[in-house]
Structure 1
Amino acid sequence: MGAPKIAFIGLGAMGGGMAARLLDSGAHVTVYNRTRAKGAELAEQGAVLADTPAEAAAGADVVFLSLATSEVVETLLFGADGVVETLPRGAVVADMSTVAPDFAVRLKDRLAGTGHRGLDACVLGNAQHARDGELRFMIGGAAEDVETIRPVIAHLAKEIVHLGESGKGATAKLALNLLMGVEMQALAEAVVFGEKAGLDRGTLIRLIAASGYSAPVMKFKAGVMARRAFENPDFRLKLMRKDLGLVLAETSRLGVPMPATAASHDWLTNAKNQGLGEHDCASIIAILEQASGLDYPWPGDVKS
């Protein structure tokens, strides 16, 4: 069997890194992004740059989606010039987007109606992990469909976990992302509290980063806060807010109280409303600085 034919839809920081990694593995990769320029570097590396999702999916064995919202997923799959117009019957659609679990289930069922197989193939990691093949996959869907894509995602992953039926991968991704959302709020509060009480910010951040409380993500984001490097986001604030909103909707349905998550979502909403949505989620500290009377430049130097 020759190299698998892969379509990759969505070339943000994560999607672009994964597509590049797949190209390095020898796969035949066709890419599509609504902002076409994002595919130019991948085209130089050997990817075929498609003009539409339908063009990207023609003849593909597997389609990967790495998109911001469920609405975009639906549009690029089922809208005009969408993936399902040309994707061969029996091919697998692996949605890596962070979506609601019930959406993942409906998507699988809708794909089955068009003769395709669907997985919620969520990933944990950052853009560098994607490029280096160090992602963790959390997958919901049929076991045989997971095995179909395993040889492909093995090039992207250091761990592949099949969690069960459709929706379970999406659930796991939300559970893990809520930890990051609450952690960013707690980190910002600790830094602002300490500084307001008279501690040197740099010293405090170094203490936090070196402490037993600091997971790798906290250590990394502490550095982002220290440098105020908010304008080249690893994880955009508006997407963090979106994910916590999905958590709150799902936990409300399940009757699970989420007081810390709800508070973090409120502060993220405040931050988004003040123009920080496109900045890194670590920019949540700017809202707390403002509320506490600390005088720091507003991210981007323009307060909206």
Structure 2
Amino acid sequence: MAGIAFIGLGAMGGGMASRLLAAGRPVTVYNRTRSRGEALESEGAVLAATPAAAAAGADVVFTSLATSEVVEQLLFGPDGVVETLPSGAIVADLSTVAPEFAQSLRSRLAETGHRGVDACVLGNAQHARDGELRFMIGGADADVESLTPALEPLAKEIVHLGPSGMGATAKLALNLLMGVQMLALTEAIVFGERAGLDRAALIKLIAAGGYSSPMMKFKAGAMARRAFEKPDFRLKLMRKDLGLVLAQTQRLGVPMPTTAASYDWLTAATNAGLGEHDVAALLAYMEQISGLAHYPPPGEAAA
């Protein structure tokens, strides 16, 4: 049975590592904030002190991290993964990154005798814990085939989209949809309430209507509960992802008017102190600038 190292134990990474343990896979974990790994240690994981210690002897290393800079640091920096990872092992980066970073990552890993794929994920933390994620993968055929047994406990769907960078591209295209829907959802709620509709009734209509998507229904519920301070998807990361989309589309010469507008509003909300909150907190920013000031801002960061 393949040894698995998991680097990055946020909501998604922690859920996936827990699922692998429940499936009987041996897992060594590392997180920069060590306390996040302690619950997994009680589930049977080995908690490593460094990325290098986690990777020693692994056949597969998963990285689930916020930015490409952190991925690079934990793979190639001091006490990084490549210092101890056996030759021929696979690094599957689950992070949302630029396609060119995914391509360069594969090339750099090849130079150290390792294999790399961009194995991007669709789903939320509950999907991760339940093994109901969808994987969009870019990489060589043989590498994806080797990685598949480690993905199977986590996935309801595994789609190989082509060479390195294609998984990252697909993830950005789909996250674009989330970003623009979040802005539309907040606008609909604020407009309806300012025009005299009861907010709870309006949110119920939106969530049940044919215009809604599963994601919109999920986030409408978070808005109804004002569940902003335990993020399922941090607002600043949504902004980051749309920024990556815009960088790609500027290079390709593709106009992205709704994406650009969503990016600007997410930037404004981040600058207002809501970046660490769930992306549903975009509603709180729109409330404050739309005359709905009777709603309290979430948390100290917004104060």
Q: With the length of structure 1 as denominator, give the TM-score of the two structures.
A: 0.98
Residue among 166, 174, 177 paired with 2:175:
177
Structure 2 counterpart of 1:151? 149
Per-residue Cα deviation, 1:131-172 (whole angstroms, up to 9, x for no partner): 000000000000100000111101100000000000000000
Q: How far 1:24 sits from its partner (Å)? A: 1.2
Secondary structure (helix, strand or coil) at the match of 1:88 reads coil
- Output the amino acid matched with 2:227: A
1:39 aligns with 2:37: yes
Q: How far 1:286 sits from its partner (Å)? A: 1.4
Per-residue Cα deviation, 1:53-81 (whole angstroms, up to 9, x for no partner): 00000000000000000000000000000
Residue among 10, 14, 34 paired with 2:12:
14
Structure 1 runs of 4+ aligned residues shifted over 6 Å read: none
Structure 2 counterpart of 1:118? 116
Matches within 5 A, 1:184-263: 184-263=182-261
Structure 2 counterpart of 1:81? 79
- Output the amino acid matched with 1:299: P
Per-residue Cα deviation, 1:250-280 (whole angstroms, up to 9, x for no partner): 0101111000000000000000001000000
- Output the amino acid matched with 1:140: G
1:265 aligns with 2:263: yes
CA gap of 1:250–1:135, structure 2 versus 1, over 3 A, is same
Per-residue Cα deviation, 1:200-238 (whole angstroms, up to 9, x for no partner): 101100010110011111111001111111001100000
CA gap of 1:95–1:302, structure 2 versus 1, over 3 A, is closer
- Output the amino acid matched with 2:272: Q
Q: With the length of structure 2 as denominator, give the TM-score of the two structures.
A: 0.99
Distance in 1 between residues matched to 2:142 and 2:63, nearest whole Å: 19
Mark the runs of 5 or more structure 1 residues left unpaired by the alignment.
Answer: none
Structure 2 counterpart of 1:97? 95
Distance in 2 between residues matched to 1:61 and 1:303, nearest whole Å: 44
Secondary structure (helix, strand or coil) at the match of 1:121 reads strand
- Output the amino acid matched with 1:241: R
Per-residue Cα deviation, 1:8-47 (whole angstroms, up to 9, x for no partner): 0000000000001111111110000000000001001110
Secondary structure (helix, strand or coil) at the match of 1:159 reads strand
- Output the amino acid matched with 2:242: L
Q: How far 1:299 sits from its partner (Å)? A: 1.1
Distance in 2 between residues matched to 1:86 and 1:103, nearest whole Å: 22
Distance in 2 between residues matched to 1:48 and 1:223, nearest whole Å: 36
1:303 aligns with 2:289: no
1:59 aligns with 2:57: yes
Distance in 2 between residues matched to 1:104 and 1:303, nearest whole Å: 34
Per-residue Cα deviation, 1:104-140 (whole angstroms, up to 9, x for no partner): 0000000000000000000000000000000000000
Structure 1 counterpart of 2:25? 27
- Output the amino acid matched with 2:278: D
Mark the runs of 5 or more structure 2 residues left unpaired by the alignment.
Answer: none
Structure 2 counterpart of 1:276? 274
- Output the amino acid matched with 1:233: P
Secondary structure (helix, strand or coil) at the match of 1:299 reads coil
Q: How far 1:303 sits from its partner (Å)? A: 3.1
Distance in 1 between residues matched to 2:219 and 2:213, nearest whole Å: 10
Distance in 1 between residues matched to 2:44 and 2:252, nearest whole Å: 46
Distance in 2 between residues matched to 1:302 and 1:36, nearest whole Å: 24
CA gap of 1:92–1:191, structure 2 versus 1, over 3 A, is same
Distance in 2 between residues matched to 1:42 and 1:186, nearest whole Å: 38
Q: % of aligned pairs identical?
A: 75
Aligned residues: 302
